[in-house]
Structure 1
Amino acid sequence: MPWAGFKALFSVIAILDVMLALKISLRPKLILVPPILLVAGVTFASMALVFNAKAKGYGFFTCYFAVLLSPMMFLSGVFFPRAQLPAFAQAITDGLPLTAAVELVRPLFLDQWPAQPLRHLAVLAVYAIDSFRVALAFTRQRFAR
């Protein structure tokens, strides 16, 4: 889990370095992006640990991407604005961890402050903590066999 968090941190630092070198964005608020994406990396690592604990083989990991991550990418505003979604779908996506990460980071690139930052951080924290607890229970159950 810490490895995944730091991998996310190193990735975002590399991307920010390129952006700064090419002068794509020189916003001072970008200093807040690495810690936010460190938390997001830990969150998604915790969620992946649940699948890891239940995996019977390597092929099972495709479920994590196909069932969870891919739909979340399309619904969380990464590629398409969430405003285009129907109201009920927007309400559902408000509780997704990727939506929280996008809502925290995107405004910083535009030199704006995120709306409801504590709420979005809470969403990430709840997913990270709950997923880790579930993964720990599943792992203990698996080792008890």
Structure 2
Amino acid sequence: MSLSYRVYYVWKRNFYSFKRFVIPTLLVSLGEPLFYLVAMGMGLGAYMGLLGGKSYLGFLAPGIVMSGVMLSSAFECLYGTLVRMIHEKIFDSLIVTPISAEDAVAGDIAWAIFRGWISGFLVLAAAVLLGAVSVSLPGVILLFLAMTAVGLVFASLSMIVTSFAPNFDFFNYYTELFITPMFFFSGVFFPLDRLPEWVKVAAHFLPLTHAVDISRAALEGRFSTALAYNFLALILPGIILFYAALLCMKRRLIK
């Protein structure tokens, strides 16, 4: 199983397609995270005290940044990939050229990671404008690396799900039973230390938990070697899931 420079051409094809609908796509990418920031961070936050010496909006924003990355990269490799595969027949067209099935899938995953970057930095910009967080160059670099790792994990995992999906309804199992619960139990909306012990233990097996930890540390200026554990908990599963996604999708594309 090998990859080539042709991965870039697949990414480029998706980018050119994206440019035609860039404004509505960006608005959709920003809409839901911004809703959580405003409705919960400023609305609910007005009735809450300080969390760790900061406002609830300041607590919420780092988690919303990473959840935006998760949702964008995951949905791109769910609905976006299935549309390109079944309805537009893009993959069928690609693999009859010198582009291999692995290159085509890796290019789609790379594109999903890029979409995650866009969503993450849009939400970060909104959080800064709302006064929720402040940024520094080291913090932004750390966030960029974390967004890349998060995008790899969720794009690859979603690609595996898509490789078995007969239709769009199949995705409901994945989103409702995995993505949505993780969104609420990864420390995005409330501190994990206030949850039962078994929930805290389970939460540390969720990739979004580690992403939120990195995001909060980066935006609060808490840089330490302890973050290496969080990165390791994202990168190792990400690599495994990436190669599993290549294998699963290749089996579906080449019958």
Check whether TM > 0.5: yes
TM-score, normalised to structure 1, is: 0.86
Provide the secondary structure at the position in 1 that maps to 2:189: coil
In the other structure, the counterpart of 1:84 is 194
**How far does the alpha carbon of each residue in 1:87-139 deviate from its partner, in whole angstroms, 9 at most, with x for none?**
22212211211011001101222232367211111111122112222222222
Structure 2 unpaired stretches of 5+: 1-108
CA distance in 2, matches of 1:19, 1:143: 41
From 57, 61, 64, the equivalent of 2:167 is 57
From 4, 8, 15, the equivalent of 2:116 is 8
Structure 1 unpaired stretches of 5+: none
Q: How many residues align?
A: 145
CA distance in 2, matches of 1:51, 1:142: 12
From 24, 32, 46, the equivalent of 2:156 is 46
Shift of 1:83: 1.0
Report whether the alignment pairs 1:125 with 2:232: no
Structure 1 vs Structure 2: percent identity of aligned residues? 27
**How far does the alpha carbon of each residue in 1:25-58 deviate from its partner, in whole angstroms, 9 at most, with x for none?**
3332432212211221121101101101110111
**Contact 2:152–2:242 under 8 Å retained in 1:** no
Aligned partner of 2:219: which letter? F
Cα distance change, pair 115–83 in 1 and its aligned pair in 2 (3 A): farther
Q: Which has the higher contact order (CA 8 A, sep 6+)?
A: 1
Provide the secondary structure at the position in 2 that maps to 1:6: helix
CA distance in 2, matches of 1:81, 1:113: 19
Shift of 1:16: 2.9
Compare 29-38 and 50-59 and name the one that shifted more: 29-38
Provide the secondary structure at the position in 1 that maps to 2:147: helix
RMSD: 2.0
CA distance in 1, matches of 2:193, 2:224: 16
Shift of 1:142: 2.3
Larger radius of gyration: 2
Report whether the alignment pairs 1:73 with 2:183: yes
**How far does the alpha carbon of each residue in 1:57-102 deviate from its partner, in whole angstroms, 9 at most, with x for none?**
1111122211211111122111121112222221221121101100
**Contact 1:105–1:114 under 8 Å retained in 2:** no
Aligned partner of 1:120: which letter? N
Aligned partner of 2:133: which letter? S
CA distance in 2, matches of 1:20, 1:72: 25
CA distance in 2, matches of 1:55, 1:22: 40
